[in-house]
Amino acid sequence: MKKKRIAILGATGSIGKSSLDIICRDSENFEVVLLSGHCCREKLNVISKQFPSAVTVLTSEESGKEKLLKSVLETKPDITINGISGAAGLEPSIAAINAGSHLALANKETIVMAGELVIKLAKEKNINIIPVDSEHSAIFHLLKSFTQDNLISEIILTASGGPFRNKTLQELEKVTLQETLAHPTWNMGQKITIDSASMANKGLEIIEACIFFNMPIDKIKVVIHPQSIVHSMIRLCNGVIYAQLSKPDMRHPIHDAIYFPNTTPSSLEPLNFDCLTLEFFKPDTQKFPMLTFAQEAAKKGALYPCAYNAVNEEAVAAFLNQKIKFTDIPKITEQVLQSDWTGDCMNLETVLEADKKAREISKELVKK
Ligand code: NAD
Ligand code: MG
């Protein structure tokens, strides 16, 4: 069989690391043709030494972004794993689709910001977008078994609840950056770790599910599941629920994405049921209003999801730089979402403009 040519965008990050691990387990079938990283030159050099024939792009360099987009188009990978964090992942996703590359998509921002546009483009080009976000991967693979119309009555996203699940509102006011970065079940990049603590990650995922699976927002539920073993569930019209379970290890959804449409044996450690307890709780939207804001943004559609993502990214950056408190993240988000974000989400320029405008307003609010 001809080797599959793979691009790994964001190779220096957490998704990048897991992707490289999966690909190295099967070097007979995969060849890395493109690698990108942002500001970690050393780390990228170490990785690129392992794959001397791959094109390597450091996106933080001058014209680095343009070089990445051009390299995606030129290398024409069979599969592109997009593990870039944040809004910076959107244009590379579009470049991959334009290059005729299937997209293993960890970058949820691509769907939140411009999902309809990206999905339409992929359909036109006959490209598969396979979600890597564990919840969406679970639902995507579950849905393959249920293709009859009107069969799905609910998508149930699981959420670990993050490190502050049991804290009171008063306690949340005082949490430190260090406490926020200590996720109980997943080892991930900084941005998504903060988002897990504020539940903005689940907010983004509600929007991602709504757009990706073309489901009304009121059919997308969230349940807290601290063990992160059940990755998500679907409820059918007969009331029966189907779930996907595995160890919390992103190499599972990455494996499933790059072998899609096949289900292939993996050498990852299987889940063991000895001494396994699974718990489920209702999310507390009083404590975690980022969930409600995401639902509202998804309901309004247009550029509201894009604005939600942008303000959150700016607020998280400010929190990481210790300019604001953890509880300022939802406060700033609420204010930014009060602006008018109607507009055309099928037009990339309008989307990028909304992203920019939301960031400008957010930065002003951070200063105050
Ligand atoms: P990370 O911070 O560990 O890595 C991000 C990667 O993107 C790095 O290689 C970094 O150099 C690169 N990058 C950062 N800014 C960039 C920019 N402006 N332009 C180009 N590249 C840039 O993040 P991560 O945890 O691997 O997450 C990556 C994406 O995957 C995010 O969208 C996240 O929501 C999603 N995701 C991650 C996990 C996880 O377990 N880590 C799970 C589900 C979804
Ligand atoms: Mg997820």
The pLDDT tens digits of the residues spanning 90-114 come to: 999 999 999 999 999 999 999 999 9
* Residue 130 amino acid letter: I
First vs last C-alpha separation in the chain: 59
Q: Describe the strand order of the beta sheet including 4-9 as a list of residue ranges.
A: 55-58, 30-37, 4-9, 79-82, 102-105, 129-131
Residue 366, pLDDT score: 97
Residue 179, pLDDT score: 95
Q: Is 13 in the pocket of ligand 1 (CB under 6 A)?
A: yes
Cα 121 to middle of ligand 2, angstroms:
24
Query: Among candidates 134, 131, 187, 191, which has minimal Cα distance to 159?
Result: 134
Q: For residue range 138-190, list pLDDT tens digits in order.
A: 999 999 999 898 999 999 999 999 999 999 999 999 999 999 999 888 888 99
CA distance 281 to 346: 37
By three-state DSSP, how is residue 34 classified?
strand
Atom of ligand 1 nearest to the CA of 40: 11
Q: For residue range 270-287, list pLDDT tens digits in order.
A: 999 999 999 999 999 999
Residue 119, pLDDT score: 98
Q: Are strands 129-131 and 230-236 parallel, antiparallel or unpaired?
A: unpaired
Q: For residue range 28-71, list pLDDT tens digits in order.
A: 999 999 999 998 899 999 999 999 999 999 999 999 999 999 99
Query: Hey, what are 266's tokens?
Result: 């993996």
Q: Is the pLDDT of residue 359 over 80?
A: yes
CA distance 216 to 218: 6
Q: Is 15 in the pocket of ligand 1 (CB under 6 A)?
A: yes
Q: Are 311 and 336 in contact (CB under 8 A)?
A: yes
Query: Hey, what are 194's tokens?
Result: 């903060």
Q: Are 358 and 333 in contact (CB under 8 A)?
A: no
* Residue 111 amino acid letter: I
Three-state SS letters, 3-23: CEEEEEECCCCHHHHHHHHHH
| Mean pLDDT, rounded, of the chain | 97
pLDDT band (50, 70, 90) for residue 264 = very high
Burial 42-68 (b: 16+ CB within 10 A, else e): eebeebbeebeebbbbbbeeeebbebb
Residue 1, pLDDT score: 75
CA distance 293 to 331: 10
Query: Of all helices (H) and strands (E), which one includes residue 293?
Result: helix 290-300
CA distance 94 to 99: 9
Task: List for the chain the helix, strand, coil content (%; round to 5).
Answer: 45, 15, 40
Atom of ligand 1 nearest to the CA of 15: 26
Query: Among candidates 50, 79, 23, 7, which has minimal Cα distance to 264?
Result: 23
Nearest CA to ligand 1 atom 11: 38
